[in-house]
Amino acid sequence: MSNTYDKAHELSRVLKESDEFNQLAELHAKVNADAQAKQMLDGFRAIQMELQQKQMQGMELTEEEIQKAQSVFELVQQHEVIGKLMEAEQRMSQLIGDLNRIIAEPLEELYGLGEGE
């Protein structure tokens, strides 16, 4: 009989063998092997993290900060490998979100039914 932990490990292995993961790992390795691309991406991530932290602290972003982040984002997206990496990350994030929703379906049913509709 399998338990939830065993099954989660199976899913983890299947995810690791998936096209989505392998494309992501390949692009990740490509960016890391290219010092200029790596620096560009790290710079973008740093800006992104700084702004997210401000927002999480309930601070408003200035017009200038939003525009700066936007233009750095457009710049990094134009880099062929980084652009593809970001698309692959987007797909992975979507996939992980889907998996989490599927797994939590029993809870969804339980709480959906009980809330008096």
Chain residues binding Ca ion by CB under 5 A are: 3, 6
**Least separation in angstroms between CB 82 and a second copy:** 13
**Out of Ca ion, a second copy, none, which partner does residue 20 contact, by CB within 5 to 8 A per kind?**
a second copy
Q: Does 58 bind a second copy (CB under 8 A)?
A: yes
Tokens of 80: 């062929």
Contacts of 51 (CB under 8 A, 6+ apart): 61, 65, 69
DSSP 8-state symbol, 104: T
**Out of Ca ion, a second copy, none, which partner does residue 92 contact, by CB within 5 to 8 A per kind?**
a second copy
Half-sphere exposure of 34 (CA within 13 A, CB side): 14
**Least separation in angstroms between CB 8 and Ca ion:** 11
